[in-house]
Each structure stands twice: as structure tokens, then as C-alpha cells.
Amino acid sequence: VSHLSCGIDIPKPYLVTHPGSGGSHKTWPVERFAAACGLLSTQTNVVVSSGPADDARMAEMRRLLPDAAYPDPLALDKLAHLYGCASLYIGNDSGPTHLAAATGIPTIALFGPTDPAVWGPVGKQVYIVEGDRSLPSTERLASIEIDSILELANQLISQEIH
């Protein structure tokens, strides 16, 4: 089944990832986003959303994950619609992650230097994955392993599809 969303034809089910953030210190390595989404693409289609500040990260994502869908940056209402139709969202501590959580879809939010108890998105289907707090704040996101994201994402995808 196909769903026309925001001017792009996206076969369902699909997950959305937004690998950018308002600051580079709050971003999980783009290589890990691409690797995780590449492995998850055997179960679901992948859509990568972006904002105007994400050009360099998006170029790297396109190189590492060429088969994903890459819509142009979207207005908030269209972005909310795209997220709301997804089976899963994976993103950093960012505005788009809060928007995804607000749509009610399962949302995996990656946190490193900031405190998710203060800055984390809220919702019944929000899953915070936090870097190792014993490390300096600048090293916490890098401590999040791909396998921990894959394990959680696989559980959430199987619940959404079945």
C-alpha cells in the first residue's frame, strides 16, 4: 500500500529519522544513523527528514544510505503529517523529535549532553536512549551503540506492523 505524503510517494510501513539537531554537540554520529537505518530497511522503508542547517549531514546520509527517501525540508504542518503516518521515528535531542513525539508515534530520542528529564520529549510512546552519563557530556552520544537502537527499534516496528 502506498501513501502520498508531502509530495512524495512513500510505501508503508516506513520509519522516519532526523539525524540533525540545533547543535552538532547534540547529534549522534551520522554513520551510526545510516548504519542503523540501513539494517532496519530490511523490515520497513526509511525516510530521512532534514532542516536548513542539515546540509552537510544530509550529504553524508545520502552517500551512506542511498536507497532512503529524502524529501526536501518541510513546513511544520507537513512534517507533522509525515511523522504522524510513520511506524517509528528515530532522532536526536531536537525540535523535530519533540514534534514526532507529539504526533503519538513511537519515538526513539537520543540524548547525550543534555538532561532528558528536563529537555526530553513527552508522550506515551517516547523511548529515551541516553549516552553513558559517567562520561564527559561531549562524549555521551558516541557511547550509544547501534545495537541498542536496533533492539529497541525492532521491538517497536514489530508491534506497529502486527
pLDDT digits (tens, 9 = 90+) for 90-138: 999 999 999 999 999 999 999 999 999 999 999 999 999 999 999 999 9
How do 8-11 and 2-5 pair as beta strands?
antiparallel
The label of the residue with cell 523529535 reads 97
Query: Which cell is 74 given?
Result: 518541510
Alpha-carbon separation of residue 54 from 17, 22, 27 (angstroms): 13, 9, 11
The span from the first CA to the last CA of the chain, in angstroms, equals: 15
**Cβ distance 83 to 103 under 8 Å?**
yes
pTM: 0.92
Q: Which residues contact 94 (CB under 8 A, 6 or more apart)?
A: 18, 20, 21, 22, 26
pLDDT at 4 over 60: no
Alpha-carbon separation of residue 149 from 85, 107, 127, 139 (angstroms): 21, 11, 10, 17
* Average pLDDT of the chain, as a whole number: 90
